[in-house]
Amino acid sequence: MKRETLTIVGIGYVGLPLACLCGEKGYRTFGISKDKKKVALINQGVSPIKGDARLQQWVSQKSFTAVTGFESVKSSDIVIICVPTPIDEHYNPDLEPVESACKMIAKYMKRGQLIIMESTVNPGVCEEVIIPILEKGSGLTAGKDFYLAHCPERINPGDAYWNVRNIPRCVGGLNKKSLSWAVRFYRSIISGTIRPMKSLKEAEATKIIENSFRDINIAFVNELAKSFEVLGIDLLDVIEGSKTKPFAFMAHYPSCGVGGHCIPVDPYYLIERARKSGFDHKFLKLAREINNSMPRYAVDRLMKALNEIKKPIKGTSIGVLGLAYKADVDDLRESPAVEIVSILKEEGAKVEIFDPYFPKRSTAPSLEEMLRKVDAVILATDHREFKEMNLLNFKKAQIKVVVDGKNCLDSITIAKMGILYRGIGK
């Protein structure tokens, strides 16, 4: 069957690997970004997302055409929306990127197209927000003149195995034709299972609960980290013990906070949507509160340790190791490390930063150089460089306190050097 032509709106962490894959599978593929520099880079075969060698390899194939305008929508059979769905400063879902993408698509839409939403949205957005914008802007009728499906994106930045080509997906459709076309499309590009859902709403809810599940389980161990501190119990050891149970237990780990574009964001979508229908998600909100409290908890651990050696945090030089929200990615979205930096500054500390993925935001060219400038450190991101560092560097730099926000350093070796070590839960 002749491969369709398709346009992907948004070529970031989600849209870029998808566009490469669709091109490789024989679809005439266009990828839209408003960033001219990014479009030029991609068309030269260079990935704008640093630190991901596999993605760079895919982009180097030049299997699709990056563009800045929406004209390609006119000649496309399928249009896939992969724009960000962030939250605003009040933790409310910000659908503006989705709405403006739909308004632009509507201008160029034609009869018989399949529109697929991959961006994470709360249940109801496809029918209550997206369809009205597409119908108003195009004069077409959803389900009759064009088809709509939702296939929530699933990506795990930095994951060596799971990627857009093999991660199973769930697909919901506005009607039978929407669903069957979307399922056929995803089965043509992805080796993982493609599960048809009952409707758009179930597909929207699937993604939200996957990540809310992760957020509440992380909040559970983060609360345990605080209670086990006063009980004098090593939580990490307890988790390793619980992990020996071969069923009905799934380990999560305490840390200085929960960042990224998914886990700390998606629960707010459900909280807000349910609130509008009169239901108060107390549990989800409490989990968010606990996880949002962890950057402050990490700084409190540092302040207590400095007090033990009669050093006030005010005026003390503190090094923050890592800015990224998780190991070995160059992504700052909702990063706890950024929150830790601002709390340290509020407390009057002199803050130094080193993150190998953010040289421009680092205040020293290397880890060693940064250590020489500080009296204490907070590790906020478990980058490989930090996990593999020579711990003697702490001693050489006369570091007094190490707060290990990701529990990834050898606490015994550090303590043996006469340095105060504090983990999160250990």
Cβ 139 to ligand SAJ shortest distance, Å: 34
Stretch that binds ligand SAJ, among 16-24, 94-102, 111-119, 151-159 (CB under 6 A): 151-159
Cβ 330 to ligand SAJ shortest distance, Å: 13
Contacts with ligand SAJ in 354-413 (CB under 6 A)? none
Cβ 159 to ligand SAJ shortest distance, Å: 7
C-alpha distance from residue 124 to each of 9, 173, 177, 202 (Å):
21, 12, 20, 9
Is the CB of 69 or the CB of 158 nearer to ligand SAJ? 158
Is the CB of 58 or the CB of 325 nearer to ligand SAJ? 325
The structure tokens listed for 62 are 């030049």
- By CB under 6 A, is residue 206 in contact with ligand SAJ? no
Contacts with ligand SAJ in 248-267 (CB under 6 A)? 252-253, 255, 258-260, 262-263
Kind plus residue range of the DSSP H or E element containing 404: strand 401-404
Cβ 32 to ligand SAJ shortest distance, Å: 20
Tell me, letter by letter, the H, E, C secondary structure of 68-123.
Answer: CCCHHHHHCCEEEECCCCCECCCCCECCHHHHHHHHHHHHHCCCCCEEEECCCCCC
What track of x and - describes contact with ligand SAJ for positions 293 through 332 (by CB under 6 A)? --------------------------------xx------
**Do residues 374 and 321 make contact, with C-beta atoms less than 8 angstroms apart?**
no
- By CB under 6 A, is residue 292 in contact with ligand SAJ? no
Q: Are strands 401-404 and 28-32 parallel, antiparallel or unpaired?
A: unpaired
**Do residues 336 and 258 make contact, with C-beta atoms less than 8 angstroms apart?**
yes
Q: Which residues are within 8 A (CB) of 107 and not within 5 positions of it... i.e. 6 or more apart?
A: 70, 137, 138
The structure tokens listed for 263 are 């886990």
Helices and strands, number each (H, E), in the chain: 17, 13
Q: How far is CA 122 from the centre of its chain?
A: 17
Torsion of CA 95, 99, 100, 101, to 10 degrees: 100
Contacts with ligand SAJ in 63-102 (CB under 6 A)? none
- By CB under 6 A, is residue 425 in contact with ligand SAJ? no
Contacts with ligand SAJ in 96-135 (CB under 6 A)? none
Is the CB of 23 or the CB of 264 nearer to ligand SAJ? 264
> 262 an active-site residue?
yes
Is the CB of 152 or the CB of 173 nearer to ligand SAJ? 152
C-alpha distance from residue 362 to each of 314, 322, 348, 358 (Å):
21, 9, 19, 6
Is the CB of 219 or the CB of 303 nearer to ligand SAJ? 219
Cβ 29 to ligand SAJ shortest distance, Å: 21
Annotated catalytic residue, options 22, 82, 102, 262: 262
Contacts with ligand SAJ in 6-65 (CB under 6 A)? none
Stretch that binds ligand SAJ, among 24-32, 56-64, 211-219, 383-391 (CB under 6 A): 211-219
Q: Which ranges in 232-265 belong to alpha helices (H)?
A: 235-242
Cβ 54 to ligand SAJ shortest distance, Å: 15
**CA–CA separation, 409 and 330 (whole Å):** 21
Half-sphere exposure of 213 (CA within 13 A, CB side): 8
Place of tokens 């995803």: 186
Cβ 68 to ligand SAJ shortest distance, Å: 25
* Count of chain residues binding ligand SAJ (CB under 6 A): 18
- By CB under 6 A, is residue 218 in contact with ligand SAJ? yes
**Do residues 405 and 350 make contact, with C-beta atoms less than 8 angstroms apart?**
no
Is the CB of 41 or the CB of 91 nearer to ligand SAJ? 91
Cross-strand partners of 321: 354, 379
Stretch that binds ligand SAJ, among 148-156, 278-286, 297-305, 410-418 (CB under 6 A): 148-156
**CA–CA separation, 265 and 92 (whole Å):** 9
Is the CB of 375 or the CB of 382 nearer to ligand SAJ? 382
**Do residues 182 and 149 make contact, with C-beta atoms less than 8 angstroms apart?**
yes
Is the CB of 4 or the CB of 382 nearer to ligand SAJ? 382
Nearest to 328 by CA among 353, 365, 355: 355
Member of 150, 169, 214, 288 binding ligand SAJ (CB under 6 A)? 214
Cβ 361 to ligand SAJ shortest distance, Å: 17
Residues with catalytic function: 262
Q: Which residues bind ligand SAJ (CB under 6 A)?
A: 153-157, 211, 214, 218, 252-253, 255, 258-260, 262-263, 325-326
